[in-house]
Amino acid sequence: MTSTNTLSNEIAGELRAEILRGHYHPGERLPSERDLSARFGASRGAIREALSQLRQLGLIDGQLGGARVRRLKDARIAVLGPLLSLNDTPDPKLIGQVIKTFGALAVLTAEEAVASASQDELNRLRDIVVSIDSLAGDSARQQEKWRELISSLSEVADNLVVQLIRNDLRAQFVDQMTELGIHAAFRKRVMTQILAGLKQGLSKRDIEKTGAAVKLYFEELGLIMQQALADHHDEYRKQAS
C-alpha cells in the first residue's frame, strides 16, 4: 500500500510539473491510463490515484475519453506551492503577487485586531513590535518576529481564513526562501517608519495608522523579495553557465 501511494505521488508530481511547465496545454487530453501505465511502469490503480491528485488540484478534468488539462487560472490555491517550487528559484513576479495579495488580507486583519483587541492584547502586540525594533540589524530574527506579529494579529482578530493561508504560505514560501538563504533586509528608514506607525497605532487604538503601517511593510517586503530573487536567479545562471 505504501509503495503504491509513493509511486502515485511521484507520478502525480511529474505530470503536475509537466502541466505547469506547459508541456500540456489547456483543453489538451493527457495520455490514456494505458499509455501512462506503460510510461511509468505502474499499475492502472496507481495511475488513477495520481490523476485523482491532479483533479484535486484543479489541474485536470475527468471526462469521458480521458483527462483534459484545465486552465491554470481555474486551478485551486493548493497549486501555488508546486508553482513556487517548480524551479530552483521561484518566479519573482509570482512572489510579488503572493506578497501583495496576502498583504491586503493582513491589513484588513490588523484593522480588525485593533478594533476588537482588549488592552492586554494591544499591549502584547506592541511588545512584539518593540522586540522587532530591538533586533535591528538581524534581518532573519526580525522576520521571525514579524511572522509572530502577523500570526498574533490574526488570532486577536479571530480570522481563521488568514491563519490558514498564513500556514500554507509558510510551508510553501517562507521555508523555501530560508532554504535559499534569502532574507528580507529592509531599508532602515522604511523600517523605522513602519515600526513607529505600529507603535502609535497600537498605543492609541488607531485603526487607520496600524493598517497603513502593515500595508507599507508588505509593499517594502514585496520589492525586496522580488529583487533578491532576481539577483539569486542571475547568480544561479552565472554559476550554471
Number of domains in the chain: 2
Same structural domain for residues 107 and 191?
A: yes
Both 71 and 146 in one domain: the answer is: no
Between residues 63 and 26, which one has the greater pLDDT? 26
pLDDT of residue 4: 60
pLDDT of residue 199: 97
65: left (phi over 0), alpha (psi -120 to 50) or beta: left
- At what angle are helices 44-56 and 33-40 packed, to 10 degrees? 110
Q: Are 93 and 67 in a shared domain?
A: no
* Domain region containing 6: 2-75
Give residue 48's Cα distance to chain centre.
29
What's the pTM? 0.81
Average of per-residue pLDDT across 142-150: 91
Phi first, then psi, for residue 104 (nearest 5°) are -65, -40
The conformation of residue 42, written as its DSSP 8-state character, comes to -
Question: Worst-scoring range by mean pLDDT, 77-91, 129-143, 200-214, 216-230?
Answer: 77-91
Asked if residue 159 and residue 192 are part of one domain, the reply reads yes
Residues 90 and 153 grouped into a single domain: yes
Q: Report d(CA 12, CA 173) in Å as an integer.
A: 21
CATH code for the domain of 163 = 1.20.120.530
Angle between helix 139-157 and 160-169 (nearest 10): 150
Q: How many alpha carbons fall within 13 Å on the CB side of residue 100?
A: 8
